[in-house]
Amino acid sequence: MFLGELEKKVMDILWATRGSLSVRAVTQKLNRAGKKSYAYTTVLTILTRLFVKKIVNRTRHDRGFLYSAAQTQSDFFRSVSQDLLRQLRVHFGDAAVAHFVDGIEHIDPEQLQKWRNMINKHS
């Protein structure tokens, strides 16, 4: 499951926060961090969508909700990466792997060695 640009910004705020935040708090942090100003209702819509996708948790607080990340950033990226690779393999098989390998040729040799080490560690 990929994140849109604004979803990613909202999640970065939640991942950087140790607790839960209200829509207003997320909106304020978002507006302080960027050049563009977002409306409360826009941020509420994004948080609601992230809740439906099970990417954030929410708990009732006063007349609204508090939101927090459902998993760490690292766990989320791991899950997304694994899902992407599984989908590529299922739908495109060897062709997906071949194109992936072709793309690796343009990667820094040090990064390639790190990946080899990771592969060997999990083999």
Model pLDDT for residues 46-94, shown as the tens digit of each residue: 999 999 999 999 999 999 999 999 999 999 999 998 888 888 888 888 8
Residues 65 and 77 in one domain: no
Residues 61 and 78 in one domain: no
Residues 48 and 86 in one domain: no
Residues 52 and 83 in one domain: no
19 pLDDT exceeds 80?
Answer: yes
Residues 9 and 59 in one domain: yes
8 A C-beta contact, residue 15 and residue 72: yes
Q: Which has more confidence, 1 or 31?
A: 31
8 A C-beta contact, residue 2 and residue 55: no
Write b or e for each residue in 21-59: b if 16 or more Cβ atoms lie within 10 A of its Cβ, otherwise e: bbbeebbbbbeeeeeeebeeeebbebbeebeeeebbbbe
Overall domain count for the chain:
2
Task: Output the average pLDDT for the chain.
Answer: 90
**Which CATH number is 12's domain given?**
1.10.10.10
For residue 25, the enclosing domain spans 5-69
Residues 103 and 116 in one domain: yes
- Torsion 37-43-46-47 (CA) sign: positive
97 pLDDT exceeds 80?
Answer: no
Residues 64 and 81 in one domain: no
User: What is the structure's pLDDT at 114?
Assistant: 86
